[in-house]
Amino acid sequence: MTVTLPLVLILGVGTLAVVKFLGVRPWVVIVIGLFGFYLAHTFLAPAIDGTAKSGVQIVNGTHH
Q: Give the C-alpha separation, 21 to 36, whole Å.
A: 22
Residue 53: inside a domain, yes or no?
A: yes
Assigned domain for 4 exists: no
Whether 7 is in a domain gets the answer no
More confident residue, 44 or 61: 44
Q: How far apart are CA 47 and CA 52, in angstroms?
A: 9
Instruction: List all residues 6 or more positions away from 54 whose beta carbon is below 8 Å from its beta carbon.
Output: 63
pLDDT in tens, 8-58: 888 889 989 998 999 989 899 889 888 988 888 899 989 988 998 888 888
Asked whether residue 1 carries a pLDDT value surpassing 80, the answer given is no
Which residue range forms the structural domain that includes residue 51?
A: 25-59
As a dihedral over the C-alpha atoms of residue 49, residue 51, residue 55, residue 58, rounded to 10 degrees, the angle is: 110
Which pLDDT score is estimated for 63?
Answer: 66
Name the pTM for this structure. 0.61
Do the domain assignments include residue 1? no
15 part of a folded domain: no
Number of separate domains in the chain: 1
Residue 8 belongs to some domain of the structure? no
